[in-house]
Amino acid sequence: MPGLSSPWQLEPFVVAPAAVAAVCFFQGFVRLRRRGRADHASWARSALFTLGLSAAVLPLVSPLDELGDRFLLSAHMLQHVLIGDAAPALLLLSLRGPLFFFVVPEPLLRVLGRAAWLRRAAAWLVRPPVALLAWAGAYGGWHVPVAYDFAARHQSVHDLEHASFVVAGLLVWNLLVDPARHGRLSRGKRLAIVAALFAMGTVISDVLIFSLQPLYPAYASEAHRVFGLSPLRDQQLAGLVMAVEQLATLGTCAALLLLPELRRRRRARLAVARQPA
Amino acid sequence: MTGQYRFSYEPLFLGLVLVAALLYLVAARRQRPGAGRAATFTLGLLLVVVPVNSPLETLSAHYLLLMHLLQNALIADWGPPLVILGLTPEMRRRVAAAGGRPLGALTRPAVALPLWLVVWYGVHVPVFYDWALRDGWPLQLEHLLLVAAGFVFWWPIFAVPRRIEPLGVLAYLGIGFITTPWLSLAYVFSSRAFYSFYATAPRLWGISAVRDQNLAGILMNGEQTSIFFIAFGWQLLRVLAEEEEEQRRRDTAYFEGGR
């Protein structure tokens, strides 16, 4: 079946950054463990990192890439949410704590530490309104049919599209996961970011699910229908993929933010109730 | 008015709403709700009574699933929270006291949420839905169940004394939001009509039975998404206000301790 039987393509644009990230993680992981802090560099962290890196790389080098590029909008959407949402969330989760600084090689960390302009730029980028706007711009902008079709026709623009999803994902998940443990955002503010992301994502997924006609001419005009999916059904499926993926990632994030605190408060209430009058 | 746009009635709801309005008037003589609260209560009651006593009832009971789901959404999702919000805190306290243990048990979050889901999904099961539409009287039962489930679901959020803290309300609403949209998505993605009653009903406005079902799913999904987002956003503001208050207390304690 065309698309599914496409060969794997080891694109340098994808493989090279992934290899650099893997090397950085490995040296940071080893350095931290050698210092006797295996608690901050557990094997669970390496599993999370591997999972995150796989979520970033596999959708771009596997047959899913061809399937999404040429045949199915739903496959393309799956690719986008994996590289732009699941991968950043998992990668940042794997780095949470001291490991976040150890993965940056020491000489580079020193250079970065001295570059005040870079620190200022980074501080500006990770401000919640900036990160949220970047996310809204990337997802909202690229899913406008004209932009989507233009990107599909031009490989360099397509690469830029994917890169913008990854960057936007890293920016917003940095706020939610707080890998450097700055603790700048309270639980409520992070929940507000979860809600804002979900609301923005819902607008896009609902447009795809509820549209009564195909919105992307490139997919609608494709004669070969993989899995027998009509263009409209494929589009609805794409919206569903986005909605379900967001429910899974943001829902898990909200649960992780809420449940420990609710348990803690419940224990505190019970302790007060047990105290003799 | 004749034909599909004529008025139809469900007297049960006219009676219930009349009783509720009278009780509110009696309570309002002592509690003195503000104009906004009274308007909210009135709007809530209207959203329960008008959809089932108007041409919408005719359209939903004879022609279109789309109209039926609009009706269900209004009476179950919008009416009950507005009615509860229209009660002053003291009124809510009195309702809770009058309801006693049965109301307390029924509106425990761990009971209210599953109960609401069972009713919401249960009444839309084709066997029940078709029976309610064909026999007529069970339609009132369906609507009564939906209104009751709506009150049970929203009560823990607005109850006085408070049943759940704001963070817990967020979790409660989050679970509700995740568990409800699947029915509407089933309507959207369906390519055959689920309800034989509507499949064989006279076609209105040139909408086929399947398209009617798809549109009904879109309406239901949009409506539920909106109400959950509004409620979630409102609670989030309360959480943020509480956090700010907590921080202010900590700052005060820190600076006073340092002196």
Q: In this structure, what token pair is assigned to residue A131?
A: 């990160």
Residue B37 pLDDT > 90, yes or no?
yes
| 8 A C-beta contact, residue A88 and residue A166 | yes
In this prediction, residue A217 carries a pLDDT of 85
Q: Tell if the CB–CB gap between A206 and B178 is shorter than 8 Å.
A: no
Segment A223-254, tens digit of pLDDT: 777 787 889 999 999 999 999 999 999 999 99
Residue A223, domain member (yes or no): yes
* Residues within 8 A of A (CB atoms), B 71-100 only: none
**How many domains does chain A fold into?**
1
Q: Is A206 on the interface with B (CB under 8 A)?
A: yes
In this prediction, residue B1 carries a pLDDT of 52
| Cα B138 to Cα B243: distance, rounded to the nearest angstrom | 48
Q: Is B165 on the interface with A (CB under 8 A)?
A: yes
Q: Which member of B185, B222, B236 has the closest CB to residue A191?
A: B236
Size of interface A-B (CB pairs under 8 A): 59
Residue A264 banded pLDDT, cuts 50, 70, 90: confident
| Cα A242 to Cα A78: distance, rounded to the nearest angstrom | 7
Residue A3, domain member (yes or no): no
Q: Is B208 on the interface with A (CB under 8 A)?
A: no
> How remote is the C-alpha of A271 from its chain's centroid?
40
Q: Tell if the CB–CB gap between B168 and A262 is shorter than 8 Å.
A: yes
**How many domains does chain B fold into?**
1
A210 chain-B contacts, CB cut-off 8 A: 188, 218, 221-222
In this prediction, residue B141 carries a pLDDT of 92
B213 chain-A contacts, CB cut-off 8 A: none
Q: Tell if the CB–CB gap between A262 and B233 is shorter than 8 Å.
A: no
In this prediction, residue A112 carries a pLDDT of 82
Residue A225, domain member (yes or no): yes
- Tokens 């340098």, residue located: A12
Q: Tell if the CB–CB gap between A195 and B233 is shorter than 8 Å.
A: yes
Residue A1 banded pLDDT, cuts 50, 70, 90: low
In this prediction, residue B11 carries a pLDDT of 86
Q: Is A258 on the interface with B (CB under 8 A)?
A: yes
Residues found in chain A? 277
Q: Is B179 on the interface with A (CB under 8 A)?
A: no
Range of the domain at A183: 12-274
Output helix, strand, coil percentages for chain B, rounded to the nearest 5: 80, 0, 20
Measured between CA atoms, the residue of chain B closest to residue A196 is B233
Residue B258 pLDDT > 80, yes or no?
no
In this prediction, residue A109 carries a pLDDT of 83
pTM for the full predicted model: 0.83
Q: In this structure, what token pair is assigned to residue B128?
A: 């029940």
Q: Is B248 on the interface with A (CB under 8 A)?
A: no
Residue A1, domain member (yes or no): no
In this prediction, residue B10 carries a pLDDT of 81
**What's the whole-number mean pLDDT along residues B17-22?**
94
| Cα A177 to Cα A150: distance, rounded to the nearest angstrom | 34
**What's the whole-number mean pLDDT along residues A172-182?**
92
In this prediction, residue B2 carries a pLDDT of 58
| Cα A226 to Cα B125: distance, rounded to the nearest angstrom | 33
Q: Which member of B168, B174, B242 has the closest CB to residue A254?
A: B174
Residue A24 banded pLDDT, cuts 50, 70, 90: very high
In this prediction, residue A108 carries a pLDDT of 85
Residue A138, domain member (yes or no): yes
**Among the listed residues A76, A83, A199, the one whose alpha carbon sits nearest the alpha carbon of residue A136:** A199
Measured between CA atoms, the residue of chain B closest to residue A246 is B178
Residue A4, domain member (yes or no): no
Segment B216-242, tens digit of pLDDT: 999 998 899 899 999 998 888 888 888
A189, HSE (Cβ side, Cα atoms, 13 Å): 14
Residue A178, domain member (yes or no): yes
Measured between CA atoms, the residue of chain B closest to residue A237 is B189
Residue A59, domain member (yes or no): yes
**What's the whole-number mean pLDDT along residues A210-222?**
84
Selected residue with higher pLDDT from A226 and A118: A118
Q: How many CB atoms within 10 Å of residue A175?
A: 21
Residue B17 pLDDT > 60, yes or no?
yes
Residue A2 banded pLDDT, cuts 50, 70, 90: low
Q: Which member of B171, B178, B236 has the closest CB to residue A188?
A: B236
Q: Which member of A186, A202, A262 has the closest CB to residue B171?
A: A262
Contacts of A97 (CB under 8 A, 6+ apart): A40, A179, A181
Q: Is B225 on the interface with A (CB under 8 A)?
A: yes
Measured between CA atoms, the residue of chain B closest to residue A200 is B229
Q: How many CB atoms within 10 Å of residue A154?
A: 12
| Cα A84 to Cα A18: distance, rounded to the nearest angstrom | 14
Residue A5 pLDDT > 80, yes or no?
no
Q: Tell if the CB–CB gap between B178 and A251 is shorter than 8 Å.
A: yes
- Tokens 């992981």, residue located: A29
pLDDT > 70: what percent of chain B? Answer: 98
Segment B74-104, tens digit of pLDDT: 999 999 999 999 999 999 999 999 988 999 9
Range of the domain at B101: 3-258
**How large is the ipTM?**
0.74
Segment B155-209, tens digit of pLDDT: 999 988 888 888 889 999 999 998 998 999 999 888 899 999 999 988 888 889 9
Residue A62 pLDDT > 70, yes or no?
yes
- Tokens 């817990």, residue located: B168
Q: Which member of A188, A199, A265 has the closest CB to residue B239?
A: A188
SS3 labels along B168-204? HHHHHHHHHHHHCHHHHHHHHHCCCCCCHHHHCCCCC
Q: Which member of B178, B189, B240 has the closest CB to residue A247?
A: B178
How close, in Å, is residue B78 to chain A by CA atoms?
Answer: 20
Q: Tell if the CB–CB gap between B167 and A265 is shorter than 8 Å.
A: yes
Residue B259 pLDDT > 60, yes or no?
no
Best B175, B208, B235, B236 member to test A by mutation, with max A CBs in 10 Å, is: B236
Residue A21 banded pLDDT, cuts 50, 70, 90: very high
Best A74, A189, A190, A191 member to test B by mutation, with max B CBs in 10 Å, is: A191
Q: Which member of A195, A236, A261 has the closest CB to residue B236?
A: A195
Q: Is A125 on the interface with B (CB under 8 A)?
A: no
In this prediction, residue B6 carries a pLDDT of 84
User: Which of A70-74, A126-130, A195-199, B109-113 is predicted least confidently?
Assistant: A70-74
Q: In this structure, what token pair is assigned to residue A35?
A: 């210092």
Best-predicted range by mean pLDDT (A63-67, A112-116, B141-145): B141-145
